């Protein structure tokens, strides 16, 4: 089954399929190997990883495309790409949709914020007119229908924070009518808001779950309860970049504080060299060398290691 078809089936079942956020190929592969069905490329994570900057519209679309390509190739699970505001107007949004489908992505997010956009849980958000976003969704849907009908378009609205739940619901329904498959009301506040959105939005609903992260807008609700409510997709968008930040910060602070300049007496900080190189495919790479390089070249290359 195609990755896009698998993702679409999971979302349309409205069983709160969990889609953790990744920020690079390594984090995407780790999420897939942990057993999740899909990954979400996090715009917040890409900004943090590539630039060490906040998610305020600084990442260029070329960087998004390059990162998405690497991630799609690295994992066997379905990949959704965060397209932010689509790279410009409706024409730009349709063009990036073509690129995502061509590289094998299973779906995309596109949002109705004013550019430069910002993380949905930050203050200072603004939204474009609904009619402008409708044009973007229509352009993306036209490309989807032409190239890959199961590709999932997740229309995100940031209207909740500035214009309220009624407007977020109105926009969600307009975006579904324009061709979106899924609606994401970002930074929706509490359980009763989610319940009303599920009731009044005429299609599947996606919500964020910022597990373990303080200072976010949406109430923490266990995934089985979200599934029972009828939520279609649950994104954990900032998971990988936050975990990576904390682990790296802790390791290098401990290393700097070590009187010996090493952490050899604290082996839990890092995996073995063999474990990591095995995870990233060194054994498979060696098998390719044996299969395709001249025997004499392989023997010469590894003679010193063998001795």
> What's the token pair of residue 50?
């590539």
Q: pLDDT, tens digit, for every residue of 178-222? A: 999 999 999 898 999 999 999 999 999 999 987 655 556 678 899
The pair of structure tokens assigned to 5 is 């078809």
Q: How many CB atoms within 10 Å of residue 48?
A: 21
Q: Is residue 256 part of a domain?
A: no
pTM for the structure as a whole: 0.93
Q: Are 73 and 183 in the same domain?
A: yes
pLDDT tens, residue by residue, 19-56: 999 999 999 999 999 999 999 999 999 999 999 999 99
Residues 95 and 233 in one domain: yes
Strands 152-157 vs 107-111: parallel, antiparallel or unpaired: parallel
**Residues 184, 280 share a domain:** no
Q: Are residues 184 and 290 in the same domain?
A: no
| CATH number for position 223 | 3.20.20.60
| 232 contacts 204 by C-beta, under 8 angstroms | yes
For the stretch 126-184, pLDDT in tens is 999 999 999 999 999 999 999 999 999 999 999 999 999 999 999 999 999 999 999 99
Instruction: Give the CA radius of gyration of the chain.
Output: 21
Check whether residue 208 and residue 169 sit in a common domain. yes
**Strands (E) located in 66-201:** 78-82, 107-111, 152-157, 182-185
For residues 155 and 281, state if they share a domain: no
Which domain covers residue 82, as residue numbers?
3-245
Is residue 28 assigned to a domain?
A: yes
Query: 273 and 64 in contact (C-beta within 8 Å)?
Result: no
- Same domain for 238 and 281, yes or no, is no
Q: What is the percent of the chain where pLDDT is above 90?
A: 87
Number of domains in the chain: 2
**Do residues 17 and 156 share a domain?**
yes
CB contact at 8 A, 208 and 161: no
Q: How many CA atoms lie within 13 A of 251 on its CB side?
A: 12
Residue 111 included in any domain:
yes
* 211 class by beta-carbon count within 10 Å (0-12 exposed, 13-18 middle, 19+ buried): middle
Place of tokens 């599947």: 204
Q: Is 108:64 a contact under the CB 8 Å cutoff?
A: no
End-to-end CA separation in angstroms for the chain: 47
- Residue 101 covered by a domain: yes
């Amino acid at each position: 089954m195609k990755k896009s078809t698998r993702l679409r089936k999971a979302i349309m079942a409205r069983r709160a399929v969990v889609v953790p956020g990744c920020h690079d190929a390594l984090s995407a592969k780790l999420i897939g190997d942990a057993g999740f069905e899909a990954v979400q490329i996090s715009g917040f994570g890409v900004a943090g990883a590539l630039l060490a900057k906040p998610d305020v519209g600084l990442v260029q679309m070329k960087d998004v495309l390059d990162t998405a390509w690497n991630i799609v190739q690295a994992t066997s699970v379905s990949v959704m790409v965060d397209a932010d505001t689509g790279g410009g107007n409706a024409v730009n949004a349709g063009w990036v949709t073509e690129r995502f489908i061509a590289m094998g992505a299973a779906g995309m997010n596109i949002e109705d914020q004013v550019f430069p956009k910002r993380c949905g849980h930050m203050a200072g958000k603004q939204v474009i007119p609904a009619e402008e976003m409708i044009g973007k969704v229509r352009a993306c849907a036209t490309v989807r229908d032409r190239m890959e009908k199961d590709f999932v378009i997740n229309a995100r609205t940031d209207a909740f924070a500035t214009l309220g739940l009624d407007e977020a619901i109105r926009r969600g329904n307009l975006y579904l009518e324009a061709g979106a498959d899924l609606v994401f009301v970002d930074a929706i506040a509490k359980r009763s808001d989610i319940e009303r959105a599920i009731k009044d939005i005429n299609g599947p609903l996606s919500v964020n779950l910022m597990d373990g992260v303080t200072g976010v807008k949406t109430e923490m609700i266990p995934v089985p309860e979200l599934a029972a409510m009828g939520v279609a997709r649950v994104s954990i968008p900032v998971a990988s970049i936050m975990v990576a930040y904390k682990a790296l910060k802790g390791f290098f602070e401990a290393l700097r504080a070590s009187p010996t300049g090493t952490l050899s007496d604290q082996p839990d900080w890092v995996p073995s060299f063999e474990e990591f190189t095995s995870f990233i495919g060194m054994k498979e790479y060696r098998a390719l060398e044996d299969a395709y390089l001249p025997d004499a070249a392989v023997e010469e290359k590894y003679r010193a290691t063998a001795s």
